[in-house]
A = this chain, B = another copy of it.
Amino acid sequence: MSIDILQSKIRKLKTPIMVGLDPTRTLIPPELLADCEARLGVGLEALAEGYCLFCKGILDALKKTVPAVKVQSACFEALGWQGVKVMQEVLAYAKKQGYYVLLETMRSDVEHIAALTAESVFEGLDIGGERTFPYPCDGLVLTGYLGSDGVKPFLPHLQQAEEAACKNLFIVLRSSNRSAVEVQDLLSGDRVIYRAMADLAQRWNTERVGKFGYGELGAVVAAQSPLALQELRKRYDKLFFLVPGLGAQGGAVKHAAYAFDRLGHGAIVCVSRSVIGAWQESAGMDYPEAAQKAVEKLKSQLSDHIMVL
């Protein structure tokens, strides 16, 4: 099972940390970008190449310590097709380096549109009788405002027997931003909306659970809402949680710990800027080294609160 692969990697490295590859122009060290511009001329191609080298540098630096990465598609799409092209290269590179890889699109689609994404990302496009995977990854992160229709086309791919074909889907329940309350915390009957979304996620989840007790469908629950995490962990014991909002977004490590079960399984925290942008606060360190140090620091903080093995 795909969710077991993720959890086995977490156990092996004793590190329940996913690093978000969310490059922006200001996160790329100026000398790296200058090199690209010297080679390719000033333009979108050079900027995209900067994103690509930067992400590969992070991937090289963390491959022995971090089990998983998440690629935020909007960061790359913002550069146009040149950005999407390098995103595909970064996804393939991350897979090749042995990472568990998520692609975050945050979309909510109607069924026939979701089916196109499921085909492209999970099933592969049939091009002249051969399967092509433009976006090699182990799973997608989506939002669920459109309900089951936008999720259904992905579900058969969560139930594949063949390990490489088996994928995960993560649905955003409670996000890490302040205004999440405006929609997600509205009360409907005896449930807030993120709980209604969790009930849907539970319905969408695979019946099959892996050796750690979790199904192939996971959920995003931010560290900003410790009460939500406690309640959701207790109530939805087969939903694996991805926990954003630490670091740059201000969530507390001790709160993130609520996402884990009593054996220390069932969740992974996700950090981006505080790792990939750590070089900005670390005089004398290059960006891969600063990222490593930031991961080590977070790992040590997490170990005070979570039983990892």
Binding site for B on A (CB under 8 A): 22, 24, 42-44, 47, 72, 74-75, 77-82, 84-85, 88, 105-114, 116-117, 119-120, 125, 127-128, 132, 134-135, 143-150, 172, 175-184, 186-189, 193, 196-197, 200, 249
Contact = CB atoms under 8 A, between A and B. Distances in A.
A111 B177 contact: yes
A132 B81 CA distance: 13
Given A125-B44, A128-B43, A177-B110, A78 B117 contact: yes
A189 B187 CA distance: 7
13 contacts: A24-B116, A44-B127, A74-B109, A80-B84, A80-B85, A106-B113, A108-B175, A110-B249, A111-B177, A146-B172, A146-B180, A150-B179, A182-B200
Contacts of A109: 74, 106
Nearest to A46: B127
A180 B44 contact: no
A176 B149 CA distance: 10
B78 A85 contact: no
Contacts of A149: 177-180
B120 A79 contact: yes
A182 B148 contact: yes
A72 B120 CA distance: 15
A85 B81 CA distance: 5
Given A42-B128, A143-B145, A116 B183 contact: no
Contacts of A146: 143, 172, 175, 177, 179-180, 183-184
A23 to B, nearest CB: 10
B144 A110 contact: no
A78 B125 contact: yes
A189 B192 CA distance: 11
Contact of A43 (B74, B77, B127, B189): B127
